[in-house]
């Protein structure tokens, strides 16, 4: 096979890639999404496929494939998901670190997210706190706190009310004075270039913005664009895309003040997406929602974490989040993360 990956539909080639590792399959995903092509109509030919590639093929919805060099570790994945496959050569395993990192305990969706992060195809930025201390009115709130989140990782910080969860978020935003070091991506919070990079962090308050000002939901989302210079057409596209992604485009012209708590939180998340932020900070986002609103928001956050994969830090005193979101969780207690 001349290309590393070839995809056909009705015996007509519609996609090829000459990239290596898993990148051709991620390129294929972009192609399918961009052209709204149904993957179950396609036939995929790949030079090499191991367990990781098999998980991606299943996730993309491809039902038939031929692999020139196939790892035995891929076969259970294909069989468990009803994939029709053939191959030229079968080997015990492929000499690739990723082959060993995909465990049997991972679901296809979990493997996909893991591989996206490993391929660097995430919206998120790394967050690193080193020996951060925050004092307010002589009281030590955060005490030599350390945190290291990779790109696209999610964290729930839980703890009782008054333990400093909001203070921690405000320090990361650069709104509360702190000692130590906080780095977002390649930039130091509070550093010389920080103001230019401030839009890389989006903040969802524990209580939605209260306002009787005559502003529409769409205009609130557009705030996420800040002072960005772009055409009216591009602005409309960015706002609509963000609102559709969070299921609130039908509220575009509705007065923001008339929205329910759950609708306002969707608008807030749409603003974050419109802002193209790499880090989402969510401060008690369910505080003013009923149970159904909480369930809806939980589903939306899970979808965003898997698709856009921003780095997300959610603080809450509600243990429901820990039980229902498959995110890492740590308790803020005594000024440190336990």
Domain 5-118 has CATH 3.40.140.30: yes
Confidence of residue 321 (pLDDT cuts 50, 70, 90): confident
Where helices occur in 48-94 by DSSP H, the ranges are 51-60, 75-80
Is residue 13's pLDDT more than 60?
Answer: yes
- pLDDT for 233 equals 84
- pLDDT for 183 equals 95
Q: What is the mean pLDDT of residues 44-62?
A: 95
Calpha distance 227→136 (Å, rounded) = 32
Could you please report the per-residue DSSP string of 189-257? Answer: TTSTTHHHHGGGEEEE-SSPPP--S--BHHHHHHGGGTT----HHHHHHHHHHHHHHTT-GGGTTSBGG
Most confident of the ranges 55-69, 153-167, 197-211, 226-240: 55-69
Is residue 153's pLDDT more than 60?
Answer: yes
- pLDDT for 268 equals 92
User: Token pair for residue 182?
Assistant: 């906080």
How far lies 89's CA from each of 7, 20, 49, 93, 97, in Å? 20, 19, 11, 12, 20
CATH superfamily of 151-337: P-loop containing nucleotide triphosphate hydrolases (3.40.50.300)
Calpha distance 335→135 (Å, rounded) = 10
- pLDDT for 307 equals 76
| In the chain, where the domains are located | 5-118, 151-337
E strand or H helix at 318? none
Is residue 152's pLDDT more than 90?
Answer: no
**Burial group, residue 151, by CB count within 10 angstroms (0-12, 13-18, 19+):** buried
- pLDDT for 128 equals 96
Is residue 305's pLDDT more than 90?
Answer: no
The single residue listed with the structure tokens 């769409």 is: 218
- pLDDT for 237 equals 87
- pLDDT for 47 equals 94
pLDDT tens sequence across 32-48? 988 888 898 899 999 99
Q: How far apart are the first and last CA of the chain?
A: 53
- pLDDT for 207 equals 59
Confidence of residue 1 (pLDDT cuts 50, 70, 90): low
Task: Calculate the CA 250 to chain-centre distance.
Answer: 24
User: Token pair for residue 104?
Assistant: 């049997």
Q: What is the mean pLDDT of residues 292-319?
A: 86
Among the listed residues 206, 207, 240, 247, the one whose alpha carbon sits nearest the alpha carbon of residue 224: 240
- pLDDT for 135 equals 94
pLDDT tens sequence across 175-220? 999 999 999 998 999 888 888 888 899 999 865 555 567 899 999 9
Nearest-5° Cα angle at 245, 257 to 102: 135
- pLDDT for 209 equals 54
Handedness of CA 300, 301, 306, 311 (dihedral sign): positive
Q: Are 304 and 269 in contact (CB under 8 A)?
A: yes
Could you please report the per-residue DSSP string of 83-111? Answer: -EEEEEEEES--S-HHHHHS-TTS-HHHH
Is residue 283's pLDDT more than 60?
Answer: yes
How far lies 324's CA from each of 289, 302, 312, 330, in Å? 16, 10, 16, 15
> What interhelical angle do 291-307 and 108-118 show, nearest 10?
50
Q: What are phi and psi of 94, to 5 degrees?
A: -105, 140
Mean pLDDT (the chain) is 89
Calpha distance 51→257 (Å, rounded) = 50
- pLDDT for 156 equals 94
Q: What is the mean pLDDT of residues 19-25?
A: 92
Coil/strand/helix, residue 141: strand
Q: Percentage of residues in the chain with pLDDT exceeding 90? A: 55
């Amino acid at each position: 096979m001349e290309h590393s990956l070839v995809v056909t539909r009705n015996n007509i080639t519609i996609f090829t890639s000459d990239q290596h590792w898993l990148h051709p399959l991620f390129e294929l995903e972009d192609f399918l999404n961009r052209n709204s092509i149904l993957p179950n109509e396609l036939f995929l030919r790949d030079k090499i496929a191991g367990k990781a590639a098999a998980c991606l093929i299943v996730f993309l919805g491809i039902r038939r494939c031929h692999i020139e060099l196939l790892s035995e570790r891929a076969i259970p994945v294909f069989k468990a998901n009803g994939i029709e496959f053939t191959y030229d050569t079968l080997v015990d395993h492929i000499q690739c670190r990723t082959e060993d990192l995909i465990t049997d305990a991972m679901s296809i969706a979990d493997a996909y997210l893991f591989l996206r992060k490993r391929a660097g195809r995430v919206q998120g930025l790394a967050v690193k706190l080193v020996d951060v201390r925050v004092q307010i009115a002589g009281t030590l709130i955060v005490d030599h706190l350390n945190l290291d989140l990779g790109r696209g990782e999610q964290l729930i910080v839980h703890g009782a009310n008054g333990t400093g969860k909001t203070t921690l978020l405000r320090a990361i935003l650069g709104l509360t004075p702190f000692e130590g070091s906080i780095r977002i991506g390649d930039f130091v919070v509070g550093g010389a270039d920080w103001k230019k990079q401030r839009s890389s962090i989006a903040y969802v308050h524990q209580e939605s913005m209260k306002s009787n000002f005559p502003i529409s939901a769409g205009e609130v989302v557009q705030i996420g664009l800040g002072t960005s210079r772009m055409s009216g057409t591009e602005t409309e596209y960015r706002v609509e895309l963000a609102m559709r992604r969070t299921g609130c485009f039908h509220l575009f012209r509705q007065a923001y003040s008339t929205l329910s708590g759950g609708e306002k939180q969707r608008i807030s998340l749409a603003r974050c997406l419109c802002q193209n932020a790499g880090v989402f900070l969510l401060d008690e986002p369910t505080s003013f929602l009923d149970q159904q609103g909480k369930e809806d928001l939980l589903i939306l956050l899970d979808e965003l974490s898997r698709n856009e994969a921003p780095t997300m830090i959610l603080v809450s005193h509600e243990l429901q989040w820990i039980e229902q979101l498959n995110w890492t969780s740590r308790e803020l207690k005594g000024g440190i993360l336990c």
